[in-house]
Amino acid sequence: MKSILATLFLLVSLSYSAQNDAIAYMNTFSNEYSAIQQSMWDYTRTISHGKSARKVEKTRLELIKQSDNALSNAKKAKDFNGSTAFRDSVISYFTIVNLVLKEDYEKLVDMEEVAEQSYDLMEAYMTARDLASDKQTEAANMIGEEQRKFAEANGITLIESTDDLGQKMEIASMVYEHYNAVYLIFFKSFKQELYLINSISGLDMSGIEQNKEALLSTLEEGRIKIKEVPLYQNDETMVASTRNLFDFYEEEAEGVALVQDYLLKTEKFNKVKTAFDEKKEKSRTQADVDQYNEAVNEMNAAITTYNEWNDKMNEKRSKFIDAWNSAAAKFTDKHVPKKK
Amino acid sequence: MLRYLFLTLSGLLFHAALAQNPITLGDMSKRLVAFFKTHHVQPPEIDSVFGRKVFDNLILASDPDKCILTETEYTTLKEKSASLSEEIKEGTTVFYDYFQSIYISAVERSEKIMQAYFESDINLAKPLTASVAENRFPKSEEHADKWKQVLRSSLMDYVTDQLESTDYELPEAKDLDTLVRFSKNLLKKRYGDYFHNLISIESELEIDYLNSITEAYDVHSNYFTMEVKQWFTEELQSERELFGITYIKNNSGEFEISSLMPGSSAWLSGEIHTGDVIISLEFGDGPRIELQGMTRYEASQLFQKTDSKELKIELRNKQHEIIEVLLYKGKVYSDDDIIKTAVLEGEKKIAYISLPDFYTNWTDTSSLGCANDVAKALIKLKRENIEGLILDLRDNGGGSLKEAVDLVGIFIDFGPVMIRKDYDGELWTMKDFNRGAIYHAPLIVLINEGSASASEVVAGSLQDHNRALIVGRRSFGKATGQSILSLDPMIELNLTQKENPEWGYVKITGLGIYRIDLSTNQLNGVMPDVELILPYDDEFQREADYPNVIQLDSINKKMYYTPAPEFDTENLVSRSLERQQSNAILKELNLTYHSLDSLFDLGEPSHLSLKDYLLLIKKEQLLFDKLDTAYSKKVTNYAAQSLTYDQEIYDMSEYMAAYRNDFLENVNTDYELAEAYSIMLDLLKK
């Protein structure tokens, strides 16, 4: 969402007082632009008010199709009195919008550089998306600049005005600014917890310990960052549900010691058992038998504790993740305007 | 669908053709060259330079001491080898066939010289006067003299070994006569076996030839057969099914137990000890096989070829009792593979982890290898409140690269570990895939000239991240990776799942390894931040000293990582140097090694009389004893303890306890580790 909304409000409505052909030339571009804006708004509304995934995808594909057309029309436009600067800035903008919608970031950013700097594919994707969005903003600024120059050269007076659509999108943009900021902080810890769970199910002791440490430091970082996120209309629901989830993650990370205990005790039991089995029955002492029994009991106790803990964690995880999703859906539904 | 059918059909036809025509040596050489062209990281042109390398390799493999072939034979062979590169490409073997015939006759001639020599009267009181240089092939007329030198040296060595129990005193003439006669007969049999093995197993010479081709690409690329492949892949696993004994052939030609693997049935039986002599073997329901008179090769074949899970072994122990022990094949942790852990208790509590090999389960990539074991050890060690960690990679020859990357990941939060250049030229950054670190406190990595490959990846990467202080000596300098692949063309074309083992296998150098600062350890090794002084001259053979080594091209790639702040190396180095220069053990070792060097300069046993040689050996022995005493002096700055967490395992198993005690004893007498400990204290003081 961020990349689409970030640059929606840059072209201004205009009024004019001179040179009909210059105005007509400008209009060819602004009409295309308005149409795209409307489609983008439809898309924004669709995703903000709990519509089905199928409906969201359908709207996105329509938007891509429209941006393809806009781009091809812009490319067909001729120069104006020998100058192509304005047209070229529009082409460049539409090209970027088109690539961003198709998530074809490779053509916009140096993916090798992004991959080298990123920890995993998800981080690479998010970095690429941010970089692409920055490019889109730059391109939009460039159109504004070229439009101003074009108007000046052709005696057109530009008057900034905000229409209804612009206002709605501005609101949505502010709503999503909060949403995206919280989402990023949430997502990092969500992903880190997933790595931890994977290591636990792979009985990967090294992975468990590393991902536990990483989760704890992600939470620490997240708690600082979330304090700095500006609220939208003092709505704290998303922040609160993220904080609840963080508390759960912390409890889970601290509890990982139980998993390790279970793994180490099982390993120890296996070693004790091997040594015990290798001893001939008559040469086993009472101390050997006691030690064997103790190892069994220790392991069994560790398994029970681990299982109880695991069930509790699974239950809590579902509860807090559901709560987060519901808070996020309610947040956009409440604040993004519903009107077409 | 049609295309698929066609491929399957032609595949079947090809198989049928193969079944009718056995694969020839020429087919193999042609296949090798084609295979290496697409799978080797830097394949050279197959030209006269390449052909010359193959020739040199073949000569080195078949006559390493330059005493089987004469100068004339060598020169003729060299001339005939001019067409070798063409023959290899075309799959013909004119040169090889010629070589084989010359070599067989040279071996037979050498054998006759050997027999005549041992059947003659040999006067050990009189030194040899004639001398043929060791580093060149003998002229025809010198051939017998060159062999005499070699055989006389062997005889002198064998005789002196037998005199060890009498402190190398020269025996009475009559006793000496008996001893010499016995030794001559034994050596005659032993050399007879040696010559016999050189030419009797035709495929051995062919394997030498194929290896000469692969080693012309680089020293780490080899050709091997199914049997060797199995052995090689097993070597890289922590768990392998073995009876758990290793043996050597002693000077009396008997097979002696040289080590027992902890956890194996041999180890657990408690009845077998090192030094016991193996009399016979009985695999499962098979016959009783006596080992007397058997060659090493024949004995190893017995172990390699058996599928039996049970072995009845008959031994003569040190009390001269004959015992019989039943062993079974089981999964064991071998002595050399498993990580060992200790807590060094002194001014500070420092953890010590020794990792002698980067083992993994080679056949199951999802399973966990040594990095996970190190992690487990660290989790236990952290519970003991340690303040620093010394990771010992000395003499760790490498292993799985994945394990190396995972091991680095234990110590860094995230980021690149190494860059891999594949045979297609692609560069890949290998990263730590687990964010977070298990261990954050000060870390020292110990390396030496025997730390190679994966060890160098770990040391180099932790050095680039400034995460570990590297202590020791310049490492081996191998930064290439090998994989084991089947040569069967049907496998490469994906036309069959199961390879035809007749084609054999190659260990091929398919990738180059670079550090994240874009340099490479290949030929250079990892330079330690703080150097440990050797008590003698560094004469180690490192990668760069081998023939046909790969010099990796330089690379260009964007890399991003944030190293930790630098160590105050200058200060650490000067403090360590001061300590080492005044170290009493090092001084003692240094003096003794110098004395030994001057003894070695006195000459070869063939050119000394037995009396003088025995005097020399006596002096040597005294010096060796001195070295032993110096090496077994207890260090003073710490006492090594085992982990309390594992105590119950030691309580239960006396073998594991004995194993642990041996290890702790070694740690307590390791003066290099003691210096690393002092460096760690300096690090912690900062």
Q: Which residues contact B151 (CB under 8 A, 6 or more apart)?
A: B114, B117, B118, B187, B191
- The verdict on a CB contact (< 8 Å) between A116 and B380 is no
Share of chain A above pLDDT 70, in %: 93
By mean pLDDT, which of A40-54, B126-140, B257-271 is the weakest?
B257-271
Of residues A163 and B657, which shows the higher confidence score?
Answer: B657
Q: Name beta bridge partners: B530.
A: B471
Q: Do A264 and B372 touch (CB under 8 A)?
A: no
Identify the H or E element spanning A248.
Answer: helix A237-278
Q: How confident is the model over B45-67, as pLDDT tens digits?
A: 999 999 999 999 999 989 988 99
A261 CA to chain B: closest CA distance, Å? 10
Which of B333, B648, B659 to mutate to test binding with chain A, by most A CBs within 10 Å of its CB? B648
Q: Is the pLDDT of residue B2 over 60?
A: no
The Cβ of residue B530 has, within 10 Å, a number of other Cβ atoms equal to 22
Per residue in A100-149, pLDDT tens?
888 888 888 888 788 877 777 777 887 888 888 888 888 888 888 888 88
Q: What is the DSSP string of A152-200?
A: HHTTPPP-----HHHHHHHHHHHHHHHHHHHHHHHHHHHHHHHHHHHHH
ipTM above 0.85, yes or no: no
Quick: pLDDT tens for B298-339. Answer: 777 787 777 788 889 999 887 677 888 888 776 655 444 467
Q: What part of B 238-297 touches A (C-beta under 8 Å)?
A: 263, 268
Q: How far apart are CA B194 and CA B295, in angstroms?
A: 8
Report the mean per-residue pLDDT for chain A.
85
Calpha distance A329→A56 (Å, rounded): 14
Question: Which helix or strand (DSSP H or E) is residue B671 part of?
Answer: helix B671-685
Cα–Cα dist B587/B590, whole Å: 5
Distance from CA of A276 to the nearest CA of B (A): 7
pLDDT tens-digit readout, B69-93: 999 999 999 999 999 999 999 999 9
Report the length, in residues, of chain A: 340
Q: Output A4 or B509, whichever has higher pLDDT.
A: B509
The residues, ordered by sequence, that sit 6+ positions from A88 with a Cβ below 8 Å of its Cβ are: A146
Minimal Cβ distance to B436: which of A213, A263, A275: A213
Report how far residue B573's alpha carbon sits from residue A210's, in angstroms, rounded to the nearest whole number.
32
DSSP secondary structure of B580-623: HHT-HHHHHHHHHHHHHHHHHTT--GGGS-HHHHHHHHHHHHHH
Q: Given this model, what pLDDT does residue B100 score?
A: 95
The percent of residues in chain B predicted with pLDDT above 70, rounded, is: 88
Alpha-carbon torsion (A325, A328, A329, A330), positive or negative: positive
Give the CA count within 13 Å in the CB-facing half-sphere of B301. 9
Given a cut of 60, whether residue B342 has pLDDT beyond it is yes
CA–CA separation, A13 vs A162, rounded Å?
Answer: 7
Rounded Cα gap, residues A77 and A75, in angstroms? 6
The strand ranges marked E within B437-540 are 443-447, 469-472, 480-486, 505-514, 530-531
Give the residue with greater pLDDT, B570 vs A204: B570
Residue that the structure tokens 């999964």 belong to: B331
Would you state the structure tokens that stand for residue B356, as one six-digit string?
């002698």
Q: Is pLDDT of A330 > 70?
A: yes
**B 84-123 → A contacts, CB under 8 A:** none
pLDDT tens-digit profile of B389-412?
Answer: 999 999 888 888 889 999 999 999
Using the Cβ of B436 and the Cβ atoms of chain A, whether some distance falls under 8 Å is answered with yes
Maximum separation of any 2 CA atoms in chain B, in Å:
88
> Is B361 near chain A, with CB under 8 Å?
no
Kindly tell me the sign of the dihedral angle through the C-alpha atoms of B362, B366, B370, B371.
positive
* Closest CB to A272 among B406, B558, B648: B648
φ/ψ of B241, rounded to 5, equals: -90, 115
Nearest by CB: A210 against B374, B434, B559:
B434
Look at residues B565, B464, B451 and name the one whose alpha carbon lies nearest to residue B518.
B464
Distance of CA A228 to the CA centre of its chain: 18
Q: Which of A268-277, A292-301, B453-462 has the lowest mean pLDDT?
A: A268-277
Place of tokens 């079947």: B12
d(CA B456, CA B462): 10
What is the C-alpha to C-alpha distance for residues A210 and A191, in angstroms, rounded to an integer? 14
Report d(CA B199, CA B100) in Å as an integer: 9
For residue B656, which residues of chain A lie inside 8 Å, CB to CB?
Answer: 271, 275
- Between residues A329 and B289, the one the model is more confident about: A329
Residue A42 CA: distances (Å) to CA of A1, A71, A121, B69? 13, 20, 30, 89
| pLDDT > 70? residue B613 | yes
CB contact under 8 A, B436 and A205: no
Distances (CA, A) of B311 to B227, B233, B447: 20, 23, 40
φ, ψ at B325 (rounded to 5°) = -130, 140
Is the CB of A119 less than 8 angstroms away from the CB of B406?
no
Cα–Cα distance, B393 to B378 (Å, whole number): 16
Quote the CA–CA distance of B435 and A122 in Å, as a whole number. 13
Inter-chain residue contact B380 with A264, CB threshold 8 Å? yes
DSSP code, position A120: S
Low-confidence winner among A108-117, B362-371, B418-427, B452-461 (lowest mean pLDDT):
B362-371
Q: Which helix (H) or strand (E) holds B283?
A: strand B277-283
* pLDDT value of residue B14: 37
Residue from the list A211, A291, A294 with its beta carbon closest to the beta carbon of B435: A211
Measured CA to CA in angstroms, residue A259 lies from A305, A306, B409 at distances of 9, 6, 21
- Is B438's Cβ below 8 Å from some Cβ in A? yes
The whole-number pLDDT of residue B570 equals: 97
- Specify the DSSP element, H or E, that contains B640: strand B638-641
Q: Which of A256, A97, A267 is nearest to B436 (CA)?
A: A256
For helices A164-201 and A237-278, angle between their N-to-C axes, nearest 10 degrees: 10
What residues in B contact A192, CB-CB < 8 Å?
435
pLDDT band at B17 (very low <50, low <70, confident <90, very high): very low
